[in-house]
Structure 1
Amino acid sequence: MNLQLYKAIIKVLLEHQHYIAVVNIAAQLAVSAKTIHNYLSEPVFHEMIRPCTVDKKQKLGIKLIGNENQRNELYEKLLLAEYPASRQDYIPALEDEAYILHTLFRLGTPCTIQSLAAALYKSRTGIQGVLKPIAQWLHKHDVFLIKKEHVGIWLQGDEGKIRTAYKELCLQMKIALPAAGESTTVPDRLTRQNYLRLCCFFGRESVDALQQILTLGEVVLNNKFTENDFFELLLKLSICLQRIRIKKLTTIDTTSLKNIHEYLAAQVMRSHIEERFQMKFPDEELYEITRYLLAARKQKNSPVPINEVQINEPLTQQFIRRISQFLQIDLTGDQDLIHNLLLHLKPAIRRIKYGAKTENPLLDKIRHNYTNIYLAVMTSIEELEQEEKIAFDANEIGYLCLHIAAAVNRRENGQYIKTCLICDGGITLSKYLESMLQSHIEELKIIKVCTSSELKHMNPEEFDLLLDETHLIKSEDAKLIQISDLLEPDDIAKIKSWIVGRHVLYFQQTVTGLRDKVLYVHDDLKSKEEVLIKYGHYLQEKGYVKPGYAESMLEREKRASTAMGRYVAVPHGSHTLVLVSSLVIVNLKHTISWDEFNVDLVFVLAANFSNVATNQYFFRRLYSIIKDETLISKIKKSADTQAIQALFLEAPAYVVQGEKNN
């Protein structure tokens, strides 16, 4: 008798709650009805289906008899029995550690060392040696490997975290793909590799059925998911079904999700899942699927019901002003940015309010390539969070950074000096001067051309620089420069000197007030919590922050990690608790774990919005240091507080050159 055929017959019976005709079983398995009858009459079959039994009725067929627990027990037994063949047939490149993990994720009862040893052709001692790296990998995901003598091993932890770890394993595991020339029919929505990966872990039949059900969910939503998120949804749904089969359920019951359109789509999907897979789908998991659908990105913007999310547009513009201040790039007039942010924020806030977390595959690259923008968004988002009573996590902050980065890229020269040209010589002369000025001095942007009489009705504070060709403006204002009508070389030199002098003055004024506000310490702390509590209280003792600042930093870390890569973290708390903008540079003796990163240099930042110049300087220097491996190395190697302060407060090259020239 063929053992695989026995398993196939049992699998068909498990998938049906009612009687099924023998001829139908035979048709599904491509064998004769007589063969099925022969297998059903064998004692080995009845031994294999224990603790269940079968009932045969004429004209109806055969039915598997057993309660839900007994059917699940049979399913687990069948699943474990399939692993050796599965390993050999589908995943020959699978490492022992990954194979054991895959087994543990799919079983609801303890797995014995002996069964793993038999499956992997290893000794019990060999299996014991593999369990240590498995436990370490699981611990990174806050999941624990429990071992009990004479019982076996199993997983313990929050079900959501177990599923996240399961998903990571499925994405990271090596699989043996069919040869390039081998014919494989792949659905349009999936890449060949992603489709075969899903089939490898969950079976082609199950994946194809779930894909049809997910497509039905798209019809209900009248929208399509992006191709990447379609694959991720299939993976999450496959894991969800696998865990439900072994009675491992989520525990969060978010009944508020009943009021949204995704919940209706999830209900439709549940009914089809229950019918197709012959299983009960609990309400808790219905909410889980709703969150999956809510978090997934769509191919087009769906209308958000007005009663669900109402964006405060003035607050969004205030957010852009904060970003502009920190980056020293005026983005307030970028209508594309305002429009795109409002479009993005509505579904983002909606996701966050309903507890649907989205993943940003570009997050690490964003932190690395747009460090300054990431820092600026993290410290500018607080008012939006307070208004909407939500918290943006690192993934959502990363997506906001992309909108800001796109706006910055739209700016031709990055930062510029907003200039008003005063000219009474007519349009021809004014156009000539405008062209000459912007060709010789890239920092200038002529945002207004007016006559001397028109200037009287304007607000000079709207401009950084006033260039007067008329020589009729009488003012002691330092930002007023008189130029000739043909723009002589002396005029160009005069303007450039003014620009350098402006930088020098800005730098000197800023640094003078910062010398005592940049602090440098060596320390030997063991965790990020110790760093935040100690130096949050230290800033409070210095009188730079109000009580509660340390706690606000801890709260911020729960929402979004401030680790930036390069072994650096920049924690900060609520700006409403900051009295004086300040910075503590903490050079740690040993590397500590900071969420998914390792960190040994911490910039504990306290920044408020009362002093724009100070904040701009802090962020510019922080960004220049964090992106520069040489500067980071200098800080880590130095034991001299004054030297570190000097490094942080040293003048940029253009300022140094300007001081020499003056």
Structure 2
Amino acid sequence: MRVRTIMLLKKLLSSPYPISTKSLSNMFNVSIRTIHNSIMEANDYLAGLGLETIKNVRGKGVCIRVSTKERSHMIENIFKDGYFFLEKEERELDLLLSFGFSGSPVFLNKKENEFSVSKSTIDEDMRRLRKQMGKYNIEIVSNGKKGCAFEGSERSIRTMLFDVIKKEIEIVNFQSDFFGQLSINRKILNNYISDSDINKVFDIFDSHFDTMGDELYKKQIVLFTLIWIYRLKKKETIGLINWGIMDDTDEEVDTKDYIASIIDAFNLEVSIIEKEYLTFIITSLNTDSPDTSVNWVNSQIITINLMQFVEETTGIPFHKKEEALYESLFEHIHLMIARLKSGVQVFNPILESIKKNYSEIYTAVQQYKPNIEAVIDAKISESEISFLAIHFSTIYTYLREESSLSYKCLVVCNHGIATSNLLAANLKKNFPEVDIVAVIGSRDVSVIEKLDVDLVFSTSSIDISEKPLIVVDPIITEDSLIIIKEFLDDNIQFGRLKINTDSYTNLFNEIVSLIDKRQSFFNEDDYKKLQTLFKSNGLKINLEEIQPMLKDKLNDSHIIMNATTDSWENAIEIVSKPLLDEGIITQDYVNAMIDSVKEHGPYIVIGKNLALAHARPEDGVNELGISVLKLKEPVEFGNEEMDPVSLVFCLAATDSYSHLNIMKELVSLINDEDRLDKLLSVDSTEEFKHILFESELKK
């Protein structure tokens, strides 16, 4: 077969959908007639092997209609026949894997023969590959009789191999006997990592991690384990690094047993450093790894700010499902921070789908990315951004199910105002979702791009590209009703949500807010009485959305004014005393807050002059509570950027979300330097409360 025919066959085998001959002619830069000739040649070859031939699907294109299992069988047979020449990206993947895993020296002249290409082609492949390695601070060097090899930090090399493999090989299809179809790149990987080894690691994993149900994370842990195994086989090892391994929790014991089984199964000689390295990587990737207080506050601040930013940017009312979004997003961000700090980023196999189908949400998260990177001091990949976007997209889907759509529309007409109004009236009558915001003449089309509209209806053809346009007659007929309905359906992504709900949660919160504005603050008993009142009158409320505010939990006895101390440890003890006296927390919680700062540094300093002392709920929290200490003289916590600290809050949280409103108010305070300065300038509890609760009273 001609090379073009082989490439055409590979393209069709890799696509589950028909491809038009016009698209194929553009891909290969040849005529449609040439494509037809290549299809005939390919079909002769396939028929000779007794395989399914290329079929034409009327109106859609050509394809090979087989199951994933049959497709894999076809690829297997064609490989055996020696007909699959590698394209440049495939050659580069093969070269990279050979440098990383081959047990024998790799020589470029032998690769020329293996690939059936010229020396200049290999040189060009190597130029691109060396450039790609530059971003990992890795070089490819030739060592004479030892062949070509990577030169750089072993940790960087392993991270690079993980990064490249998970991008080039669909991780969802990584376990071939489970998912069926093998891609060309997966076949290339099998030249260096055998199927038997892949399946062996999967079996060992399943025998040690029964509780880890996330298949994506599972496959990535298996992939990293395989990279670890094969690099050790090449005698490439990690240098001495403190991996910060945790205590022997149940998860940690499972991980150590898993590594011990891997070492035994593959007959490896492994140092303590290497065991700790793989333990650290697995812990970073494991969705069930235990919570830590170090990233806890940063995770919440990022989550709250990101939620507010995405809602403001997209206009989607995510606050309607704030509880569900916050809980899922916080858990993901908390895990993400731990992974990014260890240099591990998770690949998302549906990245392109998220970017295409939820582009507005993805773009908003992407815009906020620099703010997250600044907090965690690490770069975030597109895949990680798309995972964050998925949480918003999931909630958006729920909102759409509970909502109707509204389109802000513009009518353009050159037949006069009466005709324009007739068209507008007919649109409103037949399509309640159409909201006509303006009617203009055809001479005024230049203003369209300045108007906040989603769709444009016009009685004549006009030249605009900013908004979806449909040309209709002023008098709407039965035929035009169908056309307009199709137009709205085709542009459903521009629809705006109108929440349809019989929940009276907003009414409940507005009543509470009204009473609070009269300075008659609600307590927990008041909340329960009002809930009972609503229930007895058949008014439904969402209890998850009714959370205490800062003023509900911060009473006078929890505010300590103008205390003096000469150490941050003592400041934490002073601020926690009201909560300790009331049994909201135990002494263990106070000790945990102090010990955590000693171990991990002043991470609790979250804003200029402001610290938020906290530990994990299981360290000794009995109920939700908060207290605050205003120091007469500021104290150094060891944070060069934010010291000295004059305001110390102590937060006792029972879980990751019941204190959401309190955290939102603290985040608001961090972002409001003027209000923070006012708090530091007052001396009385009443003045302090008035300024602190100022944002609530304005609602």
Aligning the two structures, in what range does the TM-score lie when normalised by the shorter sequence?
0.3 to 0.5
TM-score between the two structures when normalised by the length of structure 2: 0.39
TM-score between the two structures when normalised by the length of structure 1: 0.41
